[in-house]
A and B are shown apart, each in its own frame.
Chain A
Amino acid sequence: ETGVTQTPRHLVMGMTNKKSLKCEQHLGHNAMYWYKQSAKKPLELMFVYSLEERVENNSVPSRFSPECPNSSHLFLHLHTLQPEDSALYLCASSQGVTASSGNTIYFGEGSWLTVV
């Protein structure tokens, strides 16, 4: 059982579709993250939210749109994606955003996205 739950676990979408990935954390954390994991690439940090405020946006294309309605929920809205966006999308949470304070990041199981 994980403290960070992601749905759906698998998603196949066409390039013209609009879909959303959902993440919920049950750990009482204040920070939430979206990471992208592609084959043979390091983990790519996409977005960071702290207390529902976006604190980092790493030059992610606008076809990815995050939403954090409260500190327990995080969404990634997807529209007009490209085949190269196919990847594993990992949600994570931590108590705070500063890793040097010992804030360990806890990950969800990931959502496999395939764009056709």
Chain B
Amino acid sequence: AQTVTQSQPEMSVQEAETVTLSCTYDTSESNYYLFWYKQPPSRQMILVIRQEAYKQQNATENRFSVNFQKAAKSFSLKISDSQLGDTAMYFCAFGGAQKLVFGQGTRLTINP
């Protein structure tokens, strides 16, 4: 069974700093997607970014980018120029042949 591990339960940085959230996963599948979701205090889970496993190029969405290391089964999220609105729970998720598997989340706080 696939597992997703987020080893940082909580993180805190100052506004405008860059922060990296880590995620590792375990799978024997070769075709899959990886996702980062954000859940702000309002509680709606929002897709931040996604990566296709067969693409070597790391996905980027504005200030959000990933470092996808397929061999190491690592999928970290980098947030550049962090903003107060980035304060949220961040969930890494693995999407293979079966259901989406989520990590336990990282609570990120951006301090003014």
Residues of A within 8 A of B (CB): 2, 41-43, 45, 48, 56, 88, 90, 92, 97-100, 102-110
Contact = CB atoms under 8 A, between A and B. Distances in A.
A42 B45 contact: no
29 contacts: A42-B103, A42-B104, A43-B91, A43-B102, A48-B99, A56-B99, A88-B43, A90-B45, A92-B45, A97-B99, A98-B97, A99-B32, A99-B94, A99-B96, A100-B95, A102-B95, A104-B35, A104-B47, A104-B50, A105-B47, A105-B100, A106-B47, A107-B37, A107-B44, A107-B45, A108-B44, A109-B42, A109-B44, A110-B44
Contacts of A48: 99
A109 B43 contact: yes
B33 A100 contact: yes
A2 B102 contact: no
Nearest to B50: A104
A55 B47 CA distance: 24
Interface of B: 29, 31-33, 35, 37, 42-47, 50, 52, 91, 94-100, 102-105
Contacts of A41: 104
A8 to B, nearest CB: 14
Contacts of B52: 102
A68 B47 CA distance: 24
B100 A2 contact: no
Contact of A2 (B44, B50, B104): B44
A109 B39 CA distance: 10
Contacts of B35: 104
B94 to A, nearest CB: 8
B101 to A, nearest CB: 9
The 8 closest A-B pairs by CB, nearest first: A99-B95, A107-B45, A109-B44, A43-B102, A42-B104, A99-B100, A100-B32, A110-B43
Given A102-B33, A104-B47, A110-B44, 18 more contacts: A42-B102, A45-B99, A56-B99, A88-B43, A92-B45, A98-B97, A99-B95, A99-B96, A99-B100, A100-B29, A100-B32, A102-B50, A102-B52, A104-B50, A107-B37, A107-B45, A108-B44, A109-B42
